[in-house]
């Protein structure tokens, strides 16, 4: 934990941005401990912290969204192959997306295993970039609070 706090002291919100970005890309980076440590070290208003985390998540999700628009269901299949429960991954996520629709982008950020897959499904479904960005921003913002 002292290594994380040292990095935050030295590089500030760039560490939060990078940790969230790398975590949302799919790398095993501990974004949650970084966010907690930064929150404990940030006196006063956490606005910068929330914006840094939101920006990192939004950029990563825009990348997954663009990739899913380009590669479609093959990307979704790949994501499910590397998930914890590959057998039910696509079926469960499509079920959540069918029930919640675009709202799954907002709520999925707080539900483990749904966020990334709902991002890919939004790209496959042909959602506009503007609508995706707005809904995803809202979800990222809510998950950062």
Distance CA 119, CA 51 (A): 20
Higher per-residue confidence, 75 vs 67: 67
Note the pLDDT tens digit of each residue in 80-118: 777 666 666 667 767 777 788 888 888 877 776 677 778
Residue 43 confidence (pLDDT) above 80:
no
The label of the residue with tokens 């969204």 reads 65
Q: Where are the beta strands (DSSP E) in 17-139?
A: none
């Amino acid at each position: 934990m002292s290594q994380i706090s040292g990095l935050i002291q030295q590089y500030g919100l760039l560490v939060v941005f990078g940790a969230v970005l790398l975590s949302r890309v799919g790398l095993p980076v501990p974004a949650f401990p970084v966010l907690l440590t930064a929150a404990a070290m940030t006196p006063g208003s956490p606005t910068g912290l929330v914006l840094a985390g939101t920006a990192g998540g939004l950029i990563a999700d825009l990348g997954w969204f663009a990739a899913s628009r380009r590669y479609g269901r093959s990307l979704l299949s790949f994501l499910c192959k590397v998930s914890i429960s590959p057998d039910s991954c696509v079926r469960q996520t499509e079920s959540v997306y069918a029930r919640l629709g675009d709202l799954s982008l907002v709520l999925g950020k707080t539900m483990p295993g749904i966020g990334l897959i709902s991002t890919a499904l939004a790209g496959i479904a042909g959602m506009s970039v503007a609508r995706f960005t707005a809904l995803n921003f809202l979800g990222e913002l809510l998950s950062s609070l």
